[in-house]
Chain A
Amino acid sequence: EAGVAQSPRYKIIEKRQSVAFWCNPISGHATLYWYQQILGQGPKLLIQFQNNGVVDDSQLPKDRFSAERLKGVDSTLKIQPAKLEDSAVYLCASSKTSEYNEQFFGPGTRLTVL
Chain B
Amino acid sequence: QKEVEQDPGPLSVPEGAIVSLNCTYSNSAFQYFMWYRQYSRKGPELLMYTYSSGNKEDGRFTAQVDKSSKYISLFIRDSQPSDSATYLCAMGGGSNYKLTFGKGTLLTVNP
Contact = CB atoms under 8 A, between A and B. Distances in A.
B59 interface: no
B92 A4 contact: no
B43 A100 contact: no
B32 interface: yes
Contacts of B104: 40-42
Contact of A105 (B4, B45, B51): B45
B25 interface: no
Interface stretch (B11-19, B70-78, B93-101): B93-101
Interface string B28-49: 0000100000000111111001
B42 to A, nearest CB: 6
Given A103-B46, A105-B43, A105-B44, A42 B97 contact: no
Contacts of A41: 103-104
A93 B43 contact: yes
A102 B46 contact: yes
A45 B98 contact: yes
B43 A40 contact: no
A44 B102 CA distance: 10
Contact of B43 (A45, A98, A107): A107
**A interface secondary structure, majority:** loop
Contact of B97 (A4, A93, A98, A110): A98
A40 B8 contact: yes
B22 interface: no
B6 interface: yes
Nearest to A98: B97
Contacts of B41: 107, 110
Contact of A103 (B42, B51, B99, B103): B99
A45 B99 contact: yes
Interface of B: 4, 6, 8, 32, 41-46, 49, 51, 88, 90, 92, 96-99, 101-104
